Structure 1
């Protein structure tokens, strides 16, 4: 049983990355463009250039999209995790110690989910893996054929 679970690990990790990235990107899109309920649930957007809300929304949209695609996953996840740590400690934690008290469950979960992806990478289905395979194939001299003189 453990062997089957271990063999499925990259695929489940890839699905985890896709779901987390999609949810994070949707959060950013709602704040920037007013879709999916908007920043306030009524279709509002954050004002461009305002600190920290607009910058957080850009990180959410771009970072979430990169994580969703599995492109630059570790770097995008690192920045996204940091932005959620900032959101938790600056926005939520002053309102109460525990996430259930301060409505910071989402920020805490995203922070830890992205931190996990920093250490695990993209898993299956990511563009990171596709590019790594292509790069390894082009650099492997055994796979390159030398011209044969006739």
Structure 2
């Protein structure tokens, strides 16, 4: 069976660090996504295609769940990274928003993007469903 998507499973202190990132980012995106899926096709307004709004809302909500439990973590992180990149490069920067400031800043999107990049590169770690599934596929 093909296990290429599994990659190397991080263990030890690195796994604890990845778990900490997942325990913070996962619930945050579940909450962010939940508020957006309530109005999945309209939460960004008419200037953004409704299908793109729905895709982003479900990427945040579903991706948050996946990241929290460590299931398909790299794929979920990719989806959220795309949403955060959109927020930074197509919303905040063109609006002239500062990196840090009261409302309208893009620091949080950048922090979330950095977390998603780490999860895409290293995976969920040994304390995850990904690790359990990859171990059973390798056996």
Q: TM-score, normalised to structure 2's length?
A: 0.75
Whole-Å Cα distance in 1 between the matches of residues 31 and 82 of structure 2? 18
Distance 1:100 1:52, change over 3 A: farther
- Aligned twin of 2:45: none
Aligned: 1:125 with 2:130? no
Q: Where do 4+ consecutive residues of structure 1 move more than 3 Å?
A: 45-49
- Aligned twin of 1:21: 26
Any gaps of 5 or more consecutive residues in structure 1?
A: 1-5, 34-44, 138-150
With a CA cutoff of 8 Å and minimum separation of 6, indicate the structure with the bigger relative contact order: 2
In the TM superposition, residue 66 of structure 1 has moved relative to its aligned partner by 1.2
Aligned residues: 121
Structure 2 residue matching 1:99: 3-state secondary structure: coil
Q: TM-score, normalised to structure 1's length?
A: 0.70
- Aligned twin of 2:83: 83
Any gaps of 5 or more consecutive residues in structure 2?
A: 1-10, 43-48
In the TM superposition, residue 51 of structure 1 has moved relative to its aligned partner by 5.0
Whole-Å Cα distance in 1 between the matches of residues 12 and 71 of structure 2? 23
Aligned: 1:62 with 2:62? yes
